[in-house]
Protein backbone atom coordinates (compact mmCIF):
# COMPACT_ATOMS: atom_id res chain seq x y z
CA UNK A 1 0.00 0.00 0.00
CA UNK A 2 1.25 3.47 -0.92
CA UNK A 3 2.44 5.55 2.03
CA UNK A 4 0.53 8.89 1.89
CA UNK A 5 3.17 10.51 4.10
CA UNK A 6 6.19 9.43 2.06
CA UNK A 7 6.71 12.92 0.61
CA UNK A 8 6.74 14.47 4.09
CA UNK A 9 9.31 11.91 5.19
CA UNK A 10 11.48 12.66 2.14
CA UNK A 11 11.38 16.33 3.15
CA UNK A 12 12.61 15.31 6.60
CA UNK A 13 15.55 13.43 5.07
CA UNK A 14 16.41 16.50 2.97
CA UNK A 15 16.49 18.70 6.08
CA UNK A 16 18.76 16.22 7.88
CA UNK A 17 21.16 15.95 4.93
CA UNK A 18 21.28 19.74 4.59
CA UNK A 19 22.50 20.00 8.18
CA UNK A 20 24.75 16.91 8.04
CA UNK A 21 25.68 16.05 4.40
CA UNK A 22 27.58 12.90 5.37
CA UNK A 23 24.96 11.50 7.73
CA UNK A 24 23.79 7.90 7.27
CA UNK A 25 20.00 8.18 6.99
CA UNK A 26 19.33 4.41 7.04
CA UNK A 27 18.60 4.52 10.78
CA UNK A 28 16.26 7.48 10.24
CA UNK A 29 14.38 5.47 7.62
CA UNK A 30 14.17 2.49 9.97
CA UNK A 31 12.83 4.78 12.73
CA UNK A 32 10.14 6.16 10.43
CA UNK A 33 9.05 2.72 9.25
CA UNK A 34 9.00 1.47 12.86
CA UNK A 35 6.87 4.42 14.00
CA UNK A 36 4.56 4.16 10.98
CA UNK A 37 3.89 0.48 11.58
CA UNK A 38 3.56 0.87 15.37
CA UNK A 39 1.03 3.72 14.99
CA UNK A 40 -0.83 2.05 12.07
CA UNK A 41 -4.58 2.54 12.43
CA UNK A 42 -4.24 5.19 15.14
CA UNK A 43 -5.79 8.63 14.55
CA UNK A 44 -5.28 12.02 16.14
CA UNK A 45 -8.37 13.73 17.52
CA UNK A 46 -8.19 16.00 14.45
CA UNK A 47 -8.80 12.92 12.27
CA UNK A 48 -5.26 12.75 10.82
CA UNK A 49 -3.19 9.58 10.82
CA UNK A 50 -1.24 9.55 14.08
CA UNK A 51 2.11 9.23 12.25
CA UNK A 52 1.65 12.86 11.18
CA UNK A 53 2.46 13.95 14.75
CA UNK A 54 5.88 12.24 15.19
CA UNK A 55 6.74 13.33 11.65
CA UNK A 56 5.92 16.94 12.53
CA UNK A 57 7.99 16.67 15.70
CA UNK A 58 10.98 15.31 13.79
CA UNK A 59 10.68 17.97 11.08
CA UNK A 60 10.51 20.74 13.68
CA UNK A 61 13.68 19.41 15.32
CA UNK A 62 15.44 19.09 11.96
CA UNK A 63 14.49 22.67 11.03
CA UNK A 64 16.39 23.94 14.07
CA UNK A 65 19.59 22.78 12.29
CA UNK A 66 21.32 22.33 15.66
CA UNK A 67 19.72 19.09 16.78
CA UNK A 68 21.69 15.88 16.28
CA UNK A 69 20.31 12.97 14.28
CA UNK A 70 19.86 10.77 17.37
CA UNK A 71 17.43 13.33 18.79
CA UNK A 72 15.49 13.50 15.52
CA UNK A 73 15.22 9.69 15.46
CA UNK A 74 14.01 9.75 19.06
CA UNK A 75 11.49 12.39 17.97
CA UNK A 76 10.08 9.99 15.39
CA UNK A 77 9.83 7.27 18.04
CA UNK A 78 8.85 9.40 21.03
CA UNK A 79 5.31 8.00 21.38
CA UNK A 80 5.82 4.33 20.49
CA UNK A 81 6.43 3.15 24.07
CA UNK A 82 3.56 5.16 25.51
CA UNK A 83 0.93 4.53 22.83
CA UNK A 84 1.73 1.23 21.05
CA UNK A 85 2.72 -2.39 21.75
CA UNK A 86 6.32 -1.67 20.73
CA UNK A 87 8.50 -2.33 23.79
CA UNK A 88 11.51 -0.52 25.21
CA UNK A 89 13.49 -3.76 24.98
CA UNK A 90 12.85 -3.98 21.23
CA UNK A 91 13.63 -0.30 20.79
CA UNK A 92 16.92 -0.71 22.64
CA UNK A 93 17.82 -3.70 20.46
CA UNK A 94 16.87 -1.94 17.19
CA UNK A 95 18.27 1.55 17.88
CA UNK A 96 20.76 1.29 20.72
CA UNK A 97 20.92 2.59 24.28
CA UNK A 98 21.35 6.30 23.48
CA UNK A 99 18.13 6.63 21.46
CA UNK A 100 16.24 4.27 23.79
CA UNK A 101 17.21 6.36 26.83
CA UNK A 102 16.06 9.57 25.15
CA UNK A 103 12.72 8.00 24.22
CA UNK A 104 12.25 6.76 27.77
CA UNK A 105 13.00 10.25 29.06
CA UNK A 106 10.33 11.70 26.79
CA UNK A 107 7.90 8.96 27.85
CA UNK A 108 8.31 10.15 31.44
CA UNK A 109 7.49 13.70 30.35
CA UNK A 110 4.39 12.45 28.55
CA UNK A 111 2.92 11.65 31.97
CA UNK A 112 3.14 15.30 33.05
CA UNK A 113 -0.55 16.10 33.36
CA UNK A 114 -2.32 18.07 36.05
CA UNK A 115 -4.31 15.56 38.11
CA UNK A 116 -4.03 17.04 41.59
CA UNK A 117 -1.12 18.63 43.37
CA UNK A 118 0.53 15.46 44.66
CA UNK A 119 0.80 13.73 41.29
CA UNK A 120 1.70 17.00 39.60
CA UNK A 121 4.68 17.56 41.89
CA UNK A 122 5.92 14.00 41.48
CA UNK A 123 5.69 14.27 37.70
CA UNK A 124 7.57 17.57 37.80
CA UNK A 125 10.29 15.90 39.83
CA UNK A 126 10.50 13.13 37.21
CA UNK A 127 10.75 15.76 34.50
CA UNK A 128 13.74 17.40 36.17
CA UNK A 129 15.39 14.02 36.69
CA UNK A 130 15.02 13.32 32.95
CA UNK A 131 16.34 16.77 32.03
CA UNK A 132 19.33 16.46 34.34
CA UNK A 133 20.19 13.13 32.73
CA UNK A 134 19.88 14.27 29.09
CA UNK A 135 18.61 17.70 28.02
CA UNK A 136 17.65 16.34 24.62
CA UNK A 137 14.45 14.95 26.09
CA UNK A 138 13.18 18.49 26.72
CA UNK A 139 14.03 19.51 23.13
CA UNK A 140 11.71 16.76 21.90
CA UNK A 141 9.07 17.73 24.44
CA UNK A 142 9.17 21.33 23.20
CA UNK A 143 8.61 20.14 19.62
CA UNK A 144 5.87 17.76 20.79
CA UNK A 145 4.09 20.54 22.72
CA UNK A 146 4.33 23.02 19.83
CA UNK A 147 2.76 20.53 17.40
CA UNK A 148 -0.01 19.68 19.88
CA UNK A 149 -0.74 23.37 20.49
CA UNK A 150 -1.29 23.81 16.74
CA UNK A 151 -4.21 21.35 16.90
CA UNK A 152 -5.48 22.40 20.33
CA UNK A 153 -8.62 23.96 18.82
CA UNK A 154 -10.17 20.49 18.35
CA UNK A 155 -9.90 19.60 22.05
CA UNK A 156 -12.50 20.26 24.78
CA UNK A 157 -12.23 23.61 26.54
CA UNK A 158 -11.00 22.23 29.88
CA UNK A 159 -8.13 20.38 28.20
CA UNK A 160 -7.27 23.44 26.09
CA UNK A 161 -6.92 25.52 29.24
CA UNK A 162 -4.89 22.91 31.11
CA UNK A 163 -2.40 22.41 28.27
CA UNK A 164 -2.10 26.15 27.65
CA UNK A 165 -1.46 26.87 31.35
CA UNK A 166 1.16 24.12 31.59
CA UNK A 167 2.82 25.62 28.54
CA UNK A 168 3.19 29.17 29.87
CA UNK A 169 3.85 28.17 33.49
CA UNK A 170 6.30 25.32 32.91
CA UNK A 171 7.61 24.75 29.41
CA UNK A 172 8.09 28.35 28.23
CA UNK A 173 10.05 29.35 31.36
CA UNK A 174 12.26 26.27 31.00
CA UNK A 175 12.95 27.21 27.36
CA UNK A 176 13.87 30.68 28.60
CA UNK A 177 16.24 29.29 31.23
CA UNK A 178 17.92 27.23 28.51
CA UNK A 179 18.38 30.34 26.34
CA UNK A 180 15.94 29.10 23.67
CA UNK A 181 14.20 32.40 22.90
CA UNK A 182 12.59 31.33 19.64
CA UNK A 183 10.97 28.26 21.21
CA UNK A 184 9.85 30.19 24.29
CA UNK A 185 8.11 32.74 22.05
CA UNK A 186 6.39 30.05 19.98
CA UNK A 187 5.15 28.19 23.04
CA UNK A 188 3.72 31.33 24.64
CA UNK A 189 2.11 32.68 21.47
CA UNK A 190 0.45 29.36 20.63
CA UNK A 191 -0.93 29.05 24.18
CA UNK A 192 -2.01 32.71 24.48
CA UNK A 193 -5.39 32.39 22.65
CA UNK A 194 -6.49 29.71 25.12
CA UNK A 195 -5.17 31.46 28.24
CA UNK A 196 -7.02 34.73 27.56
CA UNK A 197 -8.82 34.91 24.18
CA UNK A 198 -9.90 38.55 24.60
CA UNK A 199 -6.41 39.72 25.54
CA UNK A 200 -4.93 37.75 22.62
CA UNK A 201 -7.32 39.34 20.10
CA UNK A 202 -6.75 42.84 21.50
CA UNK A 203 -2.95 42.50 21.43
CA UNK A 204 -2.92 40.95 17.96
CA UNK A 205 -5.11 43.72 16.52
CA UNK A 206 -2.98 46.37 18.21
CA UNK A 207 0.19 44.95 16.67
CA UNK A 208 -1.47 44.59 13.26
CA UNK A 209 -2.57 48.23 13.38
CA UNK A 210 1.02 49.48 13.62
CA UNK A 211 2.89 46.74 11.74
CA UNK A 212 2.54 47.92 8.09
CA UNK A 213 3.70 51.46 8.83
CA UNK A 214 6.47 50.16 11.08
CA UNK A 215 7.72 47.68 8.48
CA UNK A 216 8.05 50.44 5.86
CA UNK A 217 9.92 52.56 8.39
CA UNK A 218 12.28 49.68 9.23
CA UNK A 219 13.01 49.11 5.52
CA UNK A 220 14.10 52.75 5.24
CA UNK A 221 16.30 52.51 8.36
CA UNK A 222 17.77 49.24 7.08
CA UNK A 223 18.89 50.96 3.84
CA UNK A 224 20.46 53.81 5.82
CA UNK A 225 22.30 51.34 8.07
CA UNK A 226 23.67 49.36 5.13
CA UNK A 227 25.03 52.46 3.40
CA UNK A 228 26.48 53.89 6.62
CA UNK A 229 28.18 50.60 7.53
CA UNK A 230 29.60 50.26 4.01
CA UNK A 231 31.20 53.70 4.35
CA UNK A 232 32.85 52.51 7.55
CA UNK A 233 33.94 49.30 5.77
CA UNK A 234 31.80 47.01 7.95
CA UNK A 235 29.85 44.38 6.03
CA UNK A 236 26.81 43.16 7.97
CA UNK A 237 25.86 39.49 7.84
CA UNK A 238 22.19 40.47 8.07
CA UNK A 239 19.96 43.38 9.06
CA UNK A 240 16.31 42.70 9.76
CA UNK A 241 13.36 43.88 11.79
CA UNK A 242 11.87 41.66 14.49
CA UNK A 243 8.40 42.04 15.99
CA UNK A 244 7.95 41.28 19.68
CA UNK A 245 6.10 38.04 20.43
CA UNK A 246 2.43 38.67 21.23
CA UNK A 247 2.42 37.18 24.72
CA UNK A 248 5.61 39.01 25.64
CA UNK A 249 4.16 42.26 24.27
CA UNK A 250 0.95 41.81 26.27
CA UNK A 251 2.83 41.24 29.52
CA UNK A 252 4.89 44.38 28.88
CA UNK A 253 1.76 46.37 28.04
CA UNK A 254 0.31 45.40 31.43
CA UNK A 255 3.40 46.86 33.12
CA UNK A 256 2.88 50.16 31.25
CA UNK A 257 -0.89 50.55 31.81
CA UNK A 258 -1.52 49.25 28.25
CA UNK A 259 0.09 52.40 26.82
CA UNK A 260 1.85 51.18 23.67
CA UNK A 261 3.59 54.54 23.15
CA UNK A 262 5.77 53.78 26.20
CA UNK A 263 7.15 50.54 24.68
CA UNK A 264 10.15 51.03 22.40
CA UNK A 265 10.95 47.46 21.42
CA UNK A 266 7.66 46.41 19.80
CA UNK A 267 9.62 46.04 16.59
CA UNK A 268 13.40 46.14 16.87
CA UNK A 269 16.19 46.33 14.31
CA UNK A 270 18.66 43.47 14.54
CA UNK A 271 22.12 43.95 13.07
CA UNK A 272 24.13 40.73 12.71
CA UNK A 273 27.87 41.23 12.13
CA UNK A 274 30.94 39.05 11.63
CA UNK A 275 32.84 39.48 14.87
CA UNK A 276 33.02 41.06 18.30
CA UNK A 277 34.91 44.14 17.14
CA UNK A 278 32.22 44.85 14.53
CA UNK A 279 29.56 44.72 17.28
CA UNK A 280 31.08 47.63 19.17
CA UNK A 281 32.01 49.49 15.98
CA UNK A 282 28.39 49.21 14.80
CA UNK A 283 27.16 50.54 18.13
CA UNK A 284 29.45 53.55 17.61
CA UNK A 285 28.11 54.09 14.09
CA UNK A 286 24.53 54.09 15.35
CA UNK A 287 25.34 56.58 18.12
CA UNK A 288 27.16 58.85 15.69
CA UNK A 289 24.10 59.11 13.49
CA UNK A 290 21.30 59.03 16.09
CA UNK A 291 21.16 60.23 19.69
CA UNK A 292 20.76 57.37 22.22
CA UNK A 293 18.19 57.51 25.00
CA UNK A 294 19.70 57.88 28.44
CA UNK A 295 19.81 54.61 30.38
CA UNK A 296 18.84 52.48 27.36
CA UNK A 297 22.32 51.20 26.40
CA UNK A 298 22.84 47.60 27.57
CA UNK A 299 25.95 45.51 27.06
CA UNK A 300 24.88 41.90 27.35
CA UNK A 301 28.10 40.80 25.63
CA UNK A 302 30.38 41.85 28.47
CA UNK A 303 27.67 40.92 30.99
CA UNK A 304 25.54 38.07 29.52
CA UNK A 305 22.13 37.26 30.94
CA UNK A 306 21.98 34.20 33.23
CA UNK A 307 20.69 32.04 30.35
CA UNK A 308 23.72 32.92 28.21
CA UNK A 309 22.07 35.61 26.06
CA UNK A 310 24.60 37.99 24.47
CA UNK A 311 23.88 41.14 22.46
CA UNK A 312 24.34 44.90 22.50
CA UNK A 313 21.09 46.84 22.91
CA UNK A 314 20.65 50.55 22.34
CA UNK A 315 17.52 52.68 21.91
CA UNK A 316 17.90 55.85 19.85
CA UNK A 317 15.94 58.81 18.50
CA UNK A 318 16.01 57.49 14.95
CA UNK A 319 14.77 58.89 11.61
CA UNK A 320 11.91 61.41 11.87
CA UNK A 321 12.32 61.44 15.64
CA UNK A 322 10.96 57.91 16.02
CA UNK A 323 12.31 55.90 18.95
CA UNK A 324 13.83 52.58 17.82
CA UNK A 325 15.77 49.82 19.57
CA UNK A 326 18.78 48.22 17.86
CA UNK A 327 20.16 44.80 18.82
CA UNK A 328 23.70 44.10 17.63
CA UNK A 329 25.36 40.67 17.81
CA UNK A 330 27.48 38.17 15.91
CA UNK A 331 25.92 35.32 13.95
CA UNK A 332 26.95 32.88 16.66
CA UNK A 333 25.42 35.05 19.40
CA UNK A 334 22.23 35.34 17.36
CA UNK A 335 21.92 31.60 16.90
CA UNK A 336 22.53 30.99 20.60
CA UNK A 337 19.96 33.69 21.49
CA UNK A 338 17.38 31.87 19.37
CA UNK A 339 18.26 28.25 20.13
CA UNK A 340 20.28 28.39 23.36
CA UNK A 341 22.07 25.23 24.46
CA UNK A 342 20.99 23.44 21.27
CA UNK A 343 23.04 25.86 19.16
CA UNK A 344 25.97 25.64 21.56
CA UNK A 345 26.03 21.85 21.26
CA UNK A 346 26.22 22.10 17.49
CA UNK A 347 29.13 24.55 17.65
CA UNK A 348 30.88 22.20 20.06
CA UNK A 349 30.33 19.25 17.69
CA UNK A 350 31.92 21.28 14.88
CA UNK A 351 34.83 22.32 17.11
CA UNK A 352 33.96 26.01 16.69
CA UNK A 353 33.08 26.93 20.25
CA UNK A 354 36.47 27.89 21.49
CA UNK A 355 35.33 27.73 25.09
CA UNK A 356 34.28 31.40 25.21
CA UNK A 357 30.56 30.96 24.54
CA UNK A 358 28.24 32.45 27.14
CA UNK A 359 25.86 29.60 26.50
CA UNK A 360 28.68 27.17 27.25
CA UNK A 361 28.70 28.65 30.73
CA UNK A 362 24.96 28.15 31.35
CA UNK A 363 24.69 26.76 34.86
CA UNK A 364 22.39 23.76 34.87
CA UNK A 365 22.82 23.22 38.59
CA UNK A 366 19.31 24.62 39.02
CA UNK A 367 17.97 21.45 37.37
CA UNK A 368 19.98 19.19 39.64
CA UNK A 369 19.03 21.22 42.71
CA UNK A 370 15.34 20.95 41.82
CA UNK A 371 15.75 17.21 41.49
CA UNK A 372 17.24 16.98 44.97
CA UNK A 373 14.70 19.40 46.41
CA UNK A 374 11.71 17.51 45.03
CA UNK A 375 12.92 14.37 46.77
CA UNK A 376 12.66 16.17 50.11
CA UNK A 377 9.59 18.34 49.94
CA UNK A 378 6.16 17.58 51.30
CA UNK A 379 3.81 17.31 48.37
CA UNK A 380 1.27 20.05 48.96
CA UNK A 381 -0.07 23.25 47.45
CA UNK A 382 2.30 25.47 49.42
CA UNK A 383 5.36 23.68 48.07
CA UNK A 384 3.99 23.83 44.53
CA UNK A 385 3.66 27.61 44.77
CA UNK A 386 7.18 27.94 46.19
CA UNK A 387 8.51 25.82 43.35
CA UNK A 388 6.82 28.10 40.81
CA UNK A 389 8.34 31.14 42.50
CA UNK A 390 11.83 29.68 42.31
CA UNK A 391 11.80 28.29 38.80
CA UNK A 392 8.85 29.19 36.65
CA UNK A 393 8.58 32.95 37.12
CA UNK A 394 10.61 35.62 35.37
CA UNK A 395 14.27 35.75 36.32
CA UNK A 396 16.52 38.70 37.10
CA UNK A 397 20.30 38.86 37.07
CA UNK A 398 22.21 40.61 39.83
CA UNK A 399 25.93 41.46 39.99
CA UNK A 400 28.34 40.94 42.83
CA UNK A 401 30.89 43.75 43.35
CA UNK A 402 33.39 41.56 41.47
CA UNK A 403 31.12 41.31 38.43
CA UNK A 404 29.84 37.75 38.95
CA UNK A 405 26.26 37.24 37.72
CA UNK A 406 23.73 35.78 40.16
CA UNK A 407 20.46 34.38 38.74
CA UNK A 408 17.43 34.99 41.01
CA UNK A 409 13.63 34.98 40.70
CA UNK A 410 11.82 38.26 40.09
CA UNK A 411 11.27 40.35 43.28
CA UNK A 412 14.14 38.60 45.09
CA UNK A 413 15.70 40.55 47.97
CA UNK A 414 19.24 41.10 49.29
CA UNK A 415 18.63 38.22 51.73
CA UNK A 416 17.93 35.86 48.79
CA UNK A 417 21.11 37.16 47.17
CA UNK A 418 23.12 36.62 50.37
CA UNK A 419 22.02 32.99 50.77
CA UNK A 420 22.75 32.34 47.10
CA UNK A 421 26.34 33.46 47.72
CA UNK A 422 26.82 31.29 50.82
CA UNK A 423 24.82 30.08 53.81
CA UNK A 424 27.11 31.89 56.24
CA UNK A 425 26.79 35.16 54.29
CA UNK A 426 23.01 34.90 54.69
CA UNK A 427 23.13 33.87 58.35
CA UNK A 428 25.39 36.78 59.32
CA UNK A 429 23.85 39.41 57.03
CA UNK A 430 23.19 42.73 58.80
CA UNK A 431 22.66 45.15 55.90
CA UNK A 432 23.00 45.50 52.13
CA UNK A 433 24.32 48.02 49.62
CA UNK A 434 22.54 48.15 46.25
CA UNK A 435 24.29 50.27 43.62
CA UNK A 436 26.42 51.82 46.42
CA UNK A 437 23.36 52.81 48.43
CA UNK A 438 22.29 51.34 51.76
CA UNK A 439 18.83 49.75 51.39
CA UNK A 440 16.38 47.79 53.61
CA UNK A 441 16.83 44.02 53.51
CA UNK A 442 13.32 43.56 52.06
CA UNK A 443 14.14 45.70 48.99
CA UNK A 444 13.02 44.10 45.70
CA UNK A 445 16.05 43.80 43.44
CA UNK A 446 16.04 44.65 39.73
CA UNK A 447 18.09 43.20 36.88
CA UNK A 448 21.46 44.91 36.68
CA UNK A 449 21.67 45.84 40.37
CA UNK A 450 25.10 45.55 41.99
CA UNK A 451 24.65 44.13 45.48
CA UNK A 452 27.11 44.01 48.36
CA UNK A 453 26.21 42.19 51.58
CA UNK A 454 27.54 43.50 54.90
CA UNK A 455 27.96 40.78 57.54
CA UNK A 456 28.71 40.62 61.23
CA UNK A 457 30.07 37.39 62.75
CA UNK A 458 28.54 38.41 66.09
CA UNK A 459 25.09 37.89 64.62
CA UNK A 460 24.14 34.43 65.87
CA UNK A 461 21.02 33.71 63.87
CA UNK A 462 18.96 35.18 61.01
CA UNK A 463 15.73 36.96 61.81
CA UNK A 464 12.52 34.94 61.54
CA UNK A 465 10.96 38.13 60.14
CA UNK A 466 12.91 37.51 56.94
CA UNK A 467 10.55 34.64 56.15
CA UNK A 468 7.86 37.21 55.39
CA UNK A 469 9.66 38.59 52.32
CA UNK A 470 12.30 36.16 51.00
CA UNK A 471 11.48 34.64 47.59
CA UNK A 472 13.81 31.67 47.13
CA UNK A 473 13.37 28.22 48.60
CA UNK A 474 17.08 28.14 49.48
CA UNK A 475 16.87 31.26 51.65
CA UNK A 476 13.65 30.13 53.31
CA UNK A 477 15.04 26.68 54.16
CA UNK A 478 18.28 28.07 55.64
CA UNK A 479 16.44 30.67 57.72
CA UNK A 480 14.03 28.08 59.14
CA UNK A 481 16.88 25.71 59.90
CA UNK A 482 18.94 28.35 61.71
CA UNK A 483 15.96 29.60 63.72
CA UNK A 484 15.22 26.00 64.73
CA UNK A 485 18.86 25.43 65.79
CA UNK A 486 18.79 28.63 67.83
CA UNK A 487 15.62 27.51 69.65
CA UNK A 488 17.13 24.11 70.44
CA UNK A 489 20.31 25.75 71.80
CA UNK A 490 18.19 28.08 73.88
CA UNK A 491 16.26 25.14 75.31
CA UNK A 492 19.50 23.39 76.25
CA UNK A 493 20.47 26.34 78.39
CA UNK A 494 17.17 26.62 80.29
CA UNK A 495 17.56 23.55 82.49
CA UNK A 496 20.79 21.66 81.82
CA UNK A 497 20.36 17.91 81.88
CA UNK A 498 16.64 17.79 81.09
CA UNK A 499 15.57 16.21 77.83
CA UNK A 500 14.16 18.43 75.07
CA UNK A 501 10.53 17.32 75.54
CA UNK A 502 10.60 18.19 79.23
CA UNK A 503 12.05 21.59 78.40
CA UNK A 504 9.40 22.21 75.79
CA UNK A 505 6.64 21.33 78.28
CA UNK A 506 8.21 23.70 80.78
pLDDT number for residue 406: 78
- Burial code (b: 16+ CB inside 10 Å, e: under 16) for 320-341 equals eeebbbbbbbbebbbbbbbbbb
Over residues 84-98, mean pLDDT: 92
Over residues 417-439, mean pLDDT: 91
Closest to 66 in 3D by CA, of 16, 8, 11: 16
160's enclosing H/E stretch is helix 157-166
Mean pLDDT over the full length of the chain = 81
User: What residues are labeled active site?
Assistant: 82-83
Q: Is the pLDDT of residue 433 over 90?
A: yes
Q: Label residue 37 by pLDDT band (50, 70, 90).
A: very high
pLDDT number for residue 103: 92
Fold classification of 394-505 (topology level) = Ubiquitin-like (UB roll) (3.10.20)
pLDDT number for residue 453: 93
Q: Where in the chain is the domain with CATH 3.30.460.10?
A: 198-350
Fold classification of 198-350 (topology level) = Beta Polymerase; domain 2 (3.30.460)
pLDDT number for residue 483: 74
The lowest-confidence range among 208-217, 227-236, 272-281, 492-501 is 492-501
Q: Label residue 259 by pLDDT band (50, 70, 90).
A: confident
Q: Label residue 95 by pLDDT band (50, 70, 90).
A: very high
Cβ atoms of residues 419 and 398 within 8 Å: no
Spacing of C-alpha 222 from chain mean position: 30
Q: Is the pLDDT of residue 408 over 50?
A: yes
Fold classification of 6-194 (topology level) = Hypothetical protein af1432 (1.10.3210)
Instruction: Give 303-362 pLDDT, tens digit per residue.
Output: 887 777 899 999 999 998 888 999 999 998 888 888 776 665 554 444 444 444 444 444
pLDDT number for residue 418: 93
364's enclosing H/E stretch is none
Share of the chain above pLDDT 70, in %: 80
Spacing of C-alpha 226 from chain mean position: 33
Spacing of C-alpha 501 from chain mean position: 48
pLDDT number for residue 229: 94
Q: Where in the chain is the domain with CATH 1.10.3210.10?
A: 6-194
Distance CA 62, CA 292 (A): 40
Instruction: Give 135-148 pLDDT, tens digit per residue.
Output: 888 899 999 999 99
Q: Is the pLDDT of residue 127 over 60?
A: yes
Q: Where in the chain is the domain with CATH 3.10.20.30?
A: 394-505
pLDDT number for residue 354: 41
Please give the model's pTM, rounded to 2 decimal places.
0.70
Amino acid sequence: MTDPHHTTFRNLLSLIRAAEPRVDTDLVTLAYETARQAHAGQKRISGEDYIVHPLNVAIYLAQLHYIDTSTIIAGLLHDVIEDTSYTIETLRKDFGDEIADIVMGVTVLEKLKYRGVERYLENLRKMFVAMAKDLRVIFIKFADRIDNLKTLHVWPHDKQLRIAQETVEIYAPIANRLGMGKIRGELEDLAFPYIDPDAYTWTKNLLLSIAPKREKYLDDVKDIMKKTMEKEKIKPVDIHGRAKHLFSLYRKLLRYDKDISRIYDIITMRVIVKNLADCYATMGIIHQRWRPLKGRIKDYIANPKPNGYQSLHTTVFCEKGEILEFQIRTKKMHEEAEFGVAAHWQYKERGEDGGDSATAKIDLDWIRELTRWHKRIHENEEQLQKMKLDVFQNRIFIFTPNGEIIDLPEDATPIDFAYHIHTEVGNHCTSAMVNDRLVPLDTKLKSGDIVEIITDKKRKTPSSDWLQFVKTTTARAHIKNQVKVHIVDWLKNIVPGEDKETKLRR
